[in-house]
Amino acid sequence: MNRQRIFAVLLIVILGFACYFNALSVPFIWDDVGLVSGNYLIKDFRYTGKIFTADLYNGKSEGQNFYRPVQSLSYMLDYHFWKLNPLGYHITNIILHIATAILIYLLVSFLTPAVKISQAPPTPRGSRALLSSIPLLTALLFVVHPVHVEAVTYISGRADILAALFMLSALLFFIKWLKGNKSAICYLLSVICFIIALFSKEFALILPVLLLLYVFACRFNYVKEYARRIYVYIPFLLAGAFYLSLRLLIVANKTVFPPKADIYKNILFFPKAAFLYLKTIILPLNLHMSRAVRLPESILSLDFIFPALGLALMSFLIFKMARTQKAKLVSFALVWFLINLVPYSGLFQINAYFAEHFAYLASVGIFLIIAIGFKRLISLNKGFLVLPAILLIFYGVISIRYNYAWRDPERFYKRIISLSPMSYHAYNNLAAIAEQKGDYREAEKLYLKSLSANDAFSNTYFNLIRVIYLSGREEPALIQMEDLIKKHPDNFWAWANLGSMYANRKEYPQAIDAYRKSLEINPGISTHHYFLALTLKEAGNNDAAIDELKRAIELDASDFHYHYALALIYKNKGIYSLALDEYKKALSLEPRNAAINLNLGIVYDLMGDYSYAEKYLLKAKGLDNNSANARYNLGVFYWSKGRYDEAKEELETSLKIDPEFQQAKT
């Protein structure tokens, strides 16, 4: 690698970290909770195999249609080093984004010698030439552009970065193979990278078309004739077919393609979407997630006619430019932009009509055209060197400012609503924050707004009913939940919510029945086994509660609550050795939990191991010095050992903390 290329890579790295440094303090937000903090599969390497046999959300969310095991594996590696510290996950996203930008630099470096774009005089040499370098400027625009904040700052957006990274790797290895560099190895690596890209995001299915685009756009001397024959692409097509077959098996009852009625309106929206993406890339203002867009009503709608005419004109220009050597690279860039938007055209089943992260790889085509334009301007006058610098600063500042918007989830959702008032997801998520704060009236109001924006969003109905219940209107909430379940009998979340309602009312038989119906529909939710176990325990069925807790632990061994609850039952049953094992497991997961230390000390005392008993009782007291219960149990321990002065001190302190603590008085 020559000195100029090393300097170019360093510049990409520096600008990448500069634009996303302030994203390191962004907390888990939106789907990050389900994919990372609440995903037990990423918390233990023994679940690696299960990641490949489960959908992205592990059956936890209805209406999802994603199979992306490489994304989950990347979270597993992050969890191994960072546990649930968002900082580490953000560092990974930023590094992957910068690596993708470097690959774009290499790809465009391959493209520019293949297609002459201008006969203008050469540009300056040295450092001044860097900003006139088409490959470098394309990569720099990519790494700093704010349209990618949704993929980089949002931890759950990693799928786009991973897919792009491995798709570009596959394309680069394919190009090396065409050039005859270690041909067999490069070709094999290209296929392997394609497979990894597929398991990162289904969008990667478009790669064989990009390979064809490269071959037809760059027919220079060293491309052998057999490289354009169909058998070259058969391994890629077979890999795609294998992925689709496996996906259909794993993501049960979820189709890759939408209903025919939806395909029609999606296709009508595609021309409009293409120009919306173009506008967003060129002038990235008021960026936000969960955009509410208006779909064309028919083929006669102006929302379809004008964008369709624009797309037809763009296609004509592509055809004309492809026939001239000087404009061939511009033609390639426009086709790249459109091809990479096709997976989001509505031909495939996706969960949004328009999203900024959909433009992640497509944007490279537009940046390449901008870089070509600057190259020609600078060739005419060196004074134009300032223009790319100004544009990079402009885009970089917007990225940094946009990152700040992600740091406070409540303000983040309010900002989305201010820009897209019909964003039902944002209302739903903002309502969840109000619910967590105990502001049930505000939560109810926001859930209702979510439903007014989209009354087909069934999860909001269940959330609304839960808030009605929590606000004290139990009977109407129960009636509404039961009615809603009649309409959605396969919604396991609804059955679980009904179970919790009955459990709160101490109507244990009905609660147990509801929880069991939830688990019949989806037995893979560890929390539902846990809540069923607690209900069974309250109902006096400890043996059945033990079975459910064991199932919860099989599904997710990383939640200390499960071990703690199981240990408590074992202790109450007098099975102290098993209780001790479970308390130790709980303590390894939550070492600073006073209640676990307290109960561990009690079990050691019951087993006659007094030194360990005192150790953990004292630790519980140290962790929660204002716990009357910890002081009481330590006092009882001292009293039983004849250490009456110490016992008196602890019991008196317990009563100071809680004057009504009858056991301490006794």
Domain count, the chain: 1
Q: How many angstroms separate the CA atoms of 621 and 609, rounded? A: 19
Residue 437 burial by Cβ neighbours in a 10 Å radius (0-12, 13-18, 19+): exposed
How confident is the model at residue 187, as a pLDDT?
92
Residues contacting residue 65 through CB under 8 Å, at least 6 positions apart: 251, 254, 255, 256, 349, 350, 351
How confident is the model at residue 269, as a pLDDT?
84
Residues contacting residue 427 through CB under 8 Å, at least 6 positions apart: 413, 417, 446, 447, 449, 450, 453
DSSP state of 472: T
This prediction's pTM: 0.85
Judge whether 219 lies within some domain. Answer: yes
Residues contacting residue 350 through CB under 8 Å, at least 6 positions apart: 65, 343, 344
HEC string for 553-574 = HHHCCCCHHHHHHHHHHHHHCC
Give whichever of 97-111, 179-193, 511-525 has the largest mean pLDDT.
97-111
Q: Which residue has the tokens 């109810």?
A: 444
CB 175 within 8 A of CB 219: no
pLDDT at 132 exceeding the cut of 80: no
Q: Residue 97 belongs to what domain range?
A: 3-256+268-350+359-404
Q: How many angstroms separate the CA atoms of 594 and 442, rounded? A: 34
Judge whether 280 lies within some domain. Answer: yes
Supply the DSSP string of 204-243, one letter for each residue: GGGHHHHHHHHHHH---TTS-GGGGSGGGGHHHHHHHHHH
Q: How many angstroms separate the CA atoms of 407 and 385, rounded? A: 35
Judge whether 203 lies within some domain. Answer: yes
How confident is the model at residue 314, as a pLDDT?
85
Q: What does the pLDDT average to over 77-104?
A: 95
Closest-CA residue to 474 (of 450, 442, 452, 497): 497
Tokens of 2: 């020559």
The pLDDT tens digits of the residues spanning 258-281 come to 666 667 777 788 888 899 999 999
Closest-CA residue to 627 (of 583, 658, 590): 658
Tokens of 278: 């173009």
Query: Where on the phi/psi map is residue 63: left (φ > 0), alpha (ψ -120 to 50), or beta?
Result: left
How confident is the model at residue 60, as a pLDDT?
57
Q: What does the pLDDT average to over 586-590?
A: 92
Give the least confident one: 150-159, 321-330, 592-601: 321-330
Judge whether 88 lies within some domain. Answer: yes
